């Protein structure tokens, strides 16, 4: 495969002699080159390289000896120089001398009227605003001299180049922002995975060590030895899972076993470690679980059981997995002390999870908050709904439901088409224009899609569609 040459030639080449046809052809070629550089090649460019290319294209239009690119920070109404070429321009003095509000007003006029010149340090400097959707992105400053007098048609070309450059820089800023968001989401997901697995096992081991200490104080050495072996096993599993998580970020139990085997082992281990708690499990739909739901449901079950052990003081637990109305449902119920009424909300809103009972330590409260928040976010990430039911003294029920809808059986051809456009990030107005239908019709279809997919908003509909591989 041929490698594209993206090297930057910063010396401005000679431009064609003025004349109607050559000038038009030169202008079209310049705009096409700038567009291709920004929206085709620019996707893989670093920000500094992209800015240098923009300066090169705009500088050669009038054979400017020097050029400078300044980005605009709207909150501070201030320009910051980020790139320059050729003859050194007084970028610092230029940035200080510019009035952000006035330049913003200039940018609102649109292409054709976004040029201005200023005198600075005995230099004549041409300013071209870089705009996107009438929003000021920045400025390009070019040095003017007797050798590169600005012609009217070249001025118009520069304004349109500024408009394209503004769109290029805006798109690049959006890509950077989306990348940062994706990184942050991945960090949160890894934090949840570690909290649900290794952190829970280590916390459980600490409880075991406290229990062992009490056994030794009572001189029950044989029982303490049994518990010490169990604690050592837990730590070995934690270390192995941590290594696996680093490599694959998938529960080691699901790497080694089927989902049915992993859940059965988890429940059996919980029974063995907690002989004082009876457990009943009705797993009628465990063999029908979609692969995409295996990790979130396994983690949900791990976290719920850990929370019951640490906070509920329960004597009985009921775990159910079943299918109802095209929903895959998992329910975990206990007969523990429940949660205070003032802390309950169904579903629990972000930031207002139930606190632990009065009298428990700060560590328990923090852990409970993190656990409830983690469970809710994990369920919602794959388009599910998470509900919490509890009353003081009567236990707690956690229920999560996940849509099992397939587009071929539930969505019409038009709804499937609109869902695909939603995944592409299109707005209702854009969808209406593309499909030649009214905005109200699009809204109605989107509403029906959300109803059929059992989701509460567009974001969850998009998530369900992508995770199930429909689009």
Residues 5, 6, 10, 15, CA torsion sign: positive
For residue 157, count CB atoms less than 10 angstroms from its CB and return exposed for 0-12, middle for 13-18, buried for 19 or more.
buried
Please check whether residues 430 and 308 belong to one and the same domain: no
The mean pLDDT value for 308-313 works out to 87
Which range in 167-171, 175-179, 313-317, 324-328 is most confidently predicted, on average pLDDT?
Answer: 313-317
Q: Does residue 370 lie within any of the structural domains? A: yes
Please check whether residues 57 and 176 belong to one and the same domain: yes
Which pLDDT does position 427 carry in this prediction? Answer: 86
Q: Does residue 247 lie within any of the structural domains? A: no
The mean pLDDT value for 68-80 works out to 86
Q: Please give the residue that has the higher pLDDT: either 171 or 325.
A: 171
Q: Is the pLDDT of residue 292 over 70?
A: yes
pLDDT band of residue 155 (cuts 50, 70, 90) is confident
Max intra-chain CA distance, the chain: 104
Please check whether residues 342 and 433 belong to one and the same domain: no
Q: Does residue 297 lie within any of the structural domains? A: yes
Here the tokens at position 386 are 């998470």
Please check whether residues 389 and 455 belong to one and the same domain: no
Please check whether residues 342 and 312 belong to one and the same domain: yes
Q: Is the pLDDT of residue 6 over 70?
A: no
Within 8 A by CB and 6+ apart from 411, the residues are 405, 419, 449, 452
Q: What is the CA radius of gyration of the chain?
A: 31
Report the number of distinct structural domains present in the chain. Answer: 3
Please check whether residues 87 and 100 belong to one and the same domain: yes
Per the prediction, the chain carries an average pLDDT of 77
Q: Does residue 213 lie within any of the structural domains? A: no
Please check whether residues 275 and 420 belong to one and the same domain: no
Asked if 317 and 277 touch (Cβ cutoff 8 Å), the reply is yes
Of 180, 205, 228, which marks where a domain is finished?
180
Q: Does residue 168 lie within any of the structural domains? A: yes
pLDDT band of residue 355 (cuts 50, 70, 90) is very low
Q: Please give the residue that has the higher pLDDT: either 339 or 313.
A: 313
Which pairing describes strands 316-324 and 278-282: parallel, antiparallel, or unpaired?
A: parallel
Q: Is the pLDDT of residue 375 over 60?
A: yes
Asked if 140 and 163 touch (Cβ cutoff 8 Å), the reply is no
Q: Does residue 237 lie within any of the structural domains? A: no
Please check whether residues 157 and 68 belong to one and the same domain: yes
What's this model's pTM, rounded to 2 decimal places? 0.44
Q: Does residue 30 lie within any of the structural domains? A: yes
- The domain containing residue 98 runs over which residues? 20-180
Please check whether residues 44 and 78 belong to one and the same domain: yes
Asked if 198 and 241 touch (Cβ cutoff 8 Å), the reply is yes
Which pLDDT does position 243 carry in this prediction? Answer: 62
Asked if 125 and 94 touch (Cβ cutoff 8 Å), the reply is yes
pLDDT band of residue 277 (cuts 50, 70, 90) is very high
Please check whether residues 335 and 428 belong to one and the same domain: no
Q: Is the pLDDT of residue 134 over 50?
A: yes
Which pLDDT does position 315 carry in this prediction? Answer: 94
The mean pLDDT value for 35-55 works out to 75
Please check whether residues 398 and 453 belong to one and the same domain: no
Of 404, 420, 445, which marks where a domain is finished?
404
Which pLDDT does position 113 carry in this prediction? Answer: 52
Which pLDDT does position 365 carry in this prediction? Answer: 44
Please check whether residues 326 and 444 belong to one and the same domain: no
Of 180, 213, 229, which marks where a domain is finished?
180
The CATH number given to whatever domain includes residue 447 is 1.10.10.10
Helix pair 413-423, 428-435: axis angle to 10 deg:
130
The CATH number given to whatever domain includes residue 100 is 3.30.450.40
Which pLDDT does position 348 carry in this prediction? Answer: 41
Q: Is the pLDDT of residue 402 over 60?
A: yes
Instruction: Report the alpha-carbon distance of residue 289 to residue 300 in Å, rounded.
Output: 14
pLDDT band of residue 370 (cuts 50, 70, 90) is low
Q: What is the pLDDT of residues 409-426, one digit of tens each?
A: 467 878 888 988 988 888
Q: Does residue 228 lie within any of the structural domains? A: no
Q: What is the pLDDT of residues 210-232, one digit of tens each?
A: 888 888 888 888 888 888 888 88
């Amino acid at each position: 495969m041929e490698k594209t040459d993206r090297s930057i030639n910063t010396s401005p080449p000679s431009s064609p002699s003025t004349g109607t046809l050559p000038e038009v052809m030169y202008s079209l070629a310049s705009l096409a080159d700038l567009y291709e550089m920004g929206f085709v090649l620019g996707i893989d460019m670093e920000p500094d390289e992209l800015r240098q290319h923009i300066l090169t294209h705009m500088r050669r239009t009038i054979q400017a000896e020097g050029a400078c690119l300044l980005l605009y920070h709207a909150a501070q109404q201030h320009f910051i120089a980020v790139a320059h070429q050729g003859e050194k321009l007084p970028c610092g003095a230029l940035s200080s001398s510019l009035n952000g509000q006035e330049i913003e007003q200039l940018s609102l006029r649109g292409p054709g009227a976004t040029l201005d010149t200023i005198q600075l340090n005995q230099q004549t400097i041409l300013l071209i605003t870089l705009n996107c959707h009438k929003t000021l992105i920045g400025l390009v400053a070019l040095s003017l001299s007797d050798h590169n007098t600005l012609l009217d048609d070249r001025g118009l070309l520069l304004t349109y180049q500024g408009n394209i450059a503004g769109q290029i820089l805006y798109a690049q800023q959006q890509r950077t922002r989306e990348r940062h968001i994706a990184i942050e989401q991945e960090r949160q997901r890894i934090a949840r995975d570690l909290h649900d697995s290794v952190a829970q096992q280590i916390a459980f081991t600490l409880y075991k060590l406290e229990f062992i200490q009490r056994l030794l104080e009572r001189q029950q050495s044989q029982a303490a030895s049994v518990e010490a072996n169990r604690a050592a096993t837990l730590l070995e599993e934690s270390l192995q899972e941590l290594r696996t998580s680093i490599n694959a970020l998938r529960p080691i139990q699901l790497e080694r076993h089927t989902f049915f085997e992993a859940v059965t082992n988890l429940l059996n281990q919980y029974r063995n470690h907690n002989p004082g708690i009876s457990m009943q499990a009705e797993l009628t739909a465990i063999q029908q679980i979609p692969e995409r739901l295996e990790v979130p449901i396994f983690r949900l079950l791990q976290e719920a059981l850990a929370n019951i052990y640490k906070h509920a003081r329960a004597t009985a637990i009921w775990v159910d997995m079943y299918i109802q109305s095209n929903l895959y449902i998992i329910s975990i119920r206990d007969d523990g002390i429940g949660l205070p009424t003032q802390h309950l909300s169904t579903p629990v809103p972000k930031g207002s999870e139930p606190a632990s009972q009065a009298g428990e330590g700060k560590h328990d409260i923090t852990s409970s908050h993190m656990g409830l928040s983690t469970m809710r976010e994990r369920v919602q990430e794959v388009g599910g709904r998470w509900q919490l039911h509890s009353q003081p003294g009567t236990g707690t029920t956690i229920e999560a439901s996940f849509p099992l809808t397939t587009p071929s059986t539930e969505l019409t051809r038009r709804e499937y088409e609109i869902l695909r456009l939603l995944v592409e990030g299109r707005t209702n107005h854009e969808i209406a224009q593309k499909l030649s239908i009214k905005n109200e019709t699009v809204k109605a279809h989107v509403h029906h899609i959300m109803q059929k997919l059992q989701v509460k908003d567009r974001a969850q509909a998009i998530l369900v569609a992508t995770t199930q591989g429909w689009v």
